[in-house]
A = this chain, B = another copy of it.
Amino acid sequence: MSVTHKVVFTPSGLSLVAEQGQSVLDAAREAGVEIASICGGRGLCRRCQVHLQTGNHAKFAMAVSDNSLSPSTTREDEQRARGHLPEGRRMACQARIMGDCVIDLPADTDVAAMHIAKGGAGFTVRHDPPVRLYLCELPIPNLDDNPDDATALAEALTAFGITAWPDLHALTKLQPILARNERRVIAVVRDGVAVVDIWPPSTAHIYGAALDIGSTSLALYLYDLSSGALVYEASAPNPQIRFGEDLMSRVSYIMMNKGSETRLSEAVREGVATLIAGALAATGIAAEHVLELVAVGNPIMHHLFFGINPVELGQAPFTLAVKDWVEAPAGSLGLGLPAAARVQMLPLIGGHVGADTTGAYLAHMDGMAGRSVLLVDIGTNAEILLAHNGRVAACSSPTGPAFEGAEITAGVRAAPGAIARVRIDPANGNGRFQLIGDEAWYSDAAPLPTVSGICGSGILEVMAELASAGLIDAGGRFRAEAAPHRFVPDGQTIAYVLVERSPNPIIIRQTDVRAVQLAKAALAAGVKLLANHLGCTAFDEVLLAGAFGTHLDPAYVAGIGIIPDADASIIRAVGNAAGQGAAMALNSIADKARIIAATATLEKVETATEPRFQEYFVAAMSFPGAPDMPPAARQRRRRPSETPAGAQP
């Protein structure tokens, strides 16, 4: 009959009943406590340090003595003598349970706490990385037992349950590092099968970058893949902007300038290289320790990042060069990453629905499972994804850039000084507004700060307020009679004056109203198309991904009819979900596999060829809650086929 002891691990509080003689490392793993170890428990890597908490522990009803663990082993004495193991610390692989124990994982060694790490970006990632470190000690060869060192390394790795073979880069480093470190090396193993680098045994961490390649800006998230912790994040403008503000103008540039696609590829890669160099400089991390990069981006950014000419995406039928997960050695891309690094990108869905959408889907896949959830990312086009009844469908809808503040007279990108909130008094048509980064409400009746313009959320609110105040009718025509003093002549028609006294007055033109109508109608039609495609009649939740969603007031999203039939209470902004998806696929091979599998069965709905899309589009043009439009005006309404500039044709 075996002797057992109670073992409690702190700070987690996880516990188990352990066999006498069991190593602390084994006991911890059995209890679900993760302790770092890359040497297979042979006392070599010194990462599994723990601290025995002697004394009475009333909380656990336990008394712990020095004899509760086996005496210090030769390995531990050696490491202590070399200064590698502080006094009072034990190595979990060496110490064996001899009595009841309370064992603390010191903060500097506790990877369990970082297991589900939240970084500054607020991303939650699983820690199941594609690249892992294994400390191997190879036998000293002699003339009678003299395998080549690659074979000896592969043999040593089998002790970790791994069958892996070194590539040429690793082979060139193997013998010199063995010779300088008493035949100990760290094998850097990718996907459990390839030794892609060899490091000295003192190296501790391995890093990876998640990258969100937006057409406007690039966002980089540097992770410690050894722990899953975010160590740095930064963003920068996409240098491609000098070739065109929006996607379609960049593709047009390439079409008109033969061979220029390489310049656009180099531009975005240089932008990424600068971000990576900045991250390494700020953190002191060596470039050679960054071995993975996982990116998301729309199809055109995807193709250009990989050096694939995107001209086919600028013309029907918008055929992708490749839709599936892409991976390539970093060496060919000029990102400042080492030759051993790998660059990957999430799968695309279609010619207008990219890896940013699959990234956002991965980020929210768990929460969407078994529910009817709409995920919307609004940019120059809106990417829309709907999960319902075990199926997932996606489409892209040609909203145009109105929601980004472009193509709107007073429109600006969301930044301090931009109007983000608007209220219009139905009694007199006067407006009030809030600026980004400023809690105060301003109006023409009081001193005004400098106003740069109206950002996307402000544009949405001003339209909704104009409608509910009766200043536009359901068809989007201005009703000057409701507040004549707020309107001014504007060519053949009139414009609403939101801010009169600012150095640059803010006016809303009839064309601005039309642009927002087209955008919201396109979005609403796409949502309705997906809902009908999957037979979904009500949403449990609506997730707004991306920068636009962050500033939106759900009540206005619901009120203006952007998401048909959705109550404000179910609408939620989820930030950079695409970036989170990239970070998840970077840190977890299971999540990479999940998004690849999910994309393979995802249903792509083509708005351009779906006859009902036009019908839904027309039906969604009106402003709910606004006065009916006069019968004569219905004749003059702009046709939905007049696609906004810059959107997909």
| Interfacial residues, chain A to chain B (CB-CB below 8 A) | 141-144, 146-151, 166-169, 171-172, 174-176, 179, 306-309, 311-312, 316-324, 326-329, 331-332, 339, 348, 350-351, 606, 608-609
**Top 10 A-B pairs, shortest CB-CB distance:** A148-B323, A148-B320, A168-B328, A150-B322, A143-B609, A143-B317, A141-B319, A175-B321, A172-B307, A146-B317
Smallest beta-carbon distance A432→chain B, Å: 46
B149 touches A320 (CB 8 A): yes
Distance of A306 Cα from B142 Cα, bound (Å): 24
Smallest beta-carbon distance A468→chain B, Å: 39
Q: How many subunits of this chain does the assembly comprise? A: 2
Chain B residues whose C-beta falls within 8 Å of the C-beta of A332 in the assembled complex: 168-169, 331, 339
Chain B residues whose C-beta falls within 8 Å of the C-beta of A150 in the assembled complex: 320-324
Chain B residues whose C-beta falls within 8 Å of the C-beta of A319 in the assembled complex: 141, 146-149, 175
Q: A168-B332, A172-B306, A331-B332 are in contact. List 15 more A-B contacts (CB 8 A).
A: A146-B317, A147-B323, A148-B320, A148-B321, A148-B323, A150-B320, A168-B326, A171-B306, A171-B321, A171-B326, A172-B309, A172-B321, A175-B311, A175-B319, A175-B321
Distance of A328 Cα from B147 Cα, bound (Å): 22
B316 touches A174 (CB 8 A): no
Distance of A127 Cα from B242 Cα, bound (Å): 53
Query: Contacts A143-B608, A176-B309 hold; do A149 and B321 have CB atoms under 8 A apart?
Result: yes
B321 touches A141 (CB 8 A): no
Q: Which of B149, B320, B350 contacts A322 (CB 8 A)?
A: B149
A309 touches B146 (CB 8 A): no
Smallest beta-carbon distance A636→chain B, Å: 31
Identify 16 residue pairs between A and B in the complex whose beta-carbon atoms are under 8 Å apart, listed by A's number. Answer: A143-B318, A143-B606, A143-B608, A143-B609, A148-B321, A149-B321, A151-B323, A168-B307, A168-B327, A168-B332, A171-B306, A171-B322, A172-B307, A172-B308, A176-B309, A179-B312
B312 touches A175 (CB 8 A): yes
Among A171, A321, A323, A348, max chain B CB count under 10 A is at A321
Chain B residues whose C-beta falls within 8 Å of the C-beta of A307 in the assembled complex: 168, 172
Chain B residues whose C-beta falls within 8 Å of the C-beta of A320 in the assembled complex: 148-150
Smallest beta-carbon distance A609→chain B, Å: 4
Smallest beta-carbon distance A523→chain B, Å: 20
Chain B residues whose C-beta falls within 8 Å of the C-beta of A311 in the assembled complex: 175
Chain B residues whose C-beta falls within 8 Å of the C-beta of A146 in the assembled complex: 317-319, 350-351, 606
B328 touches A142 (CB 8 A): no
Distance of A316 Cα from B146 Cα, bound (Å): 10
Smallest beta-carbon distance A543→chain B, Å: 27
Distance of A308 Cα from B170 Cα, bound (Å): 10
Distance of A254 Cα from B316 Cα, bound (Å): 61
Distance of A331 Cα from B308 Cα, bound (Å): 20
Smallest beta-carbon distance A112→chain B, Å: 38
Among A149, A306, A608, max chain B CB count under 10 A is at A149
Chain B residues whose C-beta falls within 8 Å of the C-beta of A175 in the assembled complex: 308-309, 311-312, 319, 321
Smallest beta-carbon distance A62→chain B, Å: 52
Chain B residue nearest in CB terms to A326: B168
A167 touches B321 (CB 8 A): no
Among A142, A168, A608, max chain B CB count under 10 A is at A168
Chain B residue nearest in CB terms to A312: B175
A331 touches B331 (CB 8 A): yes
Distance of A328 Cα from B351 Cα, bound (Å): 35
Chain B residues whose C-beta falls within 8 Å of the C-beta of A172 in the assembled complex: 306-309, 321
Chain B residues whose C-beta falls within 8 Å of the C-beta of A329 in the assembled complex: 329
Distance of A592 Cα from B168 Cα, bound (Å): 19
Smallest beta-carbon distance A619→chain B, Å: 23
Distance of A320 Cα from B324 Cα, bound (Å): 40
Smallest beta-carbon distance A329→chain B, Å: 8
Chain B residues whose C-beta falls within 8 Å of the C-beta of A316 in the assembled complex: 143
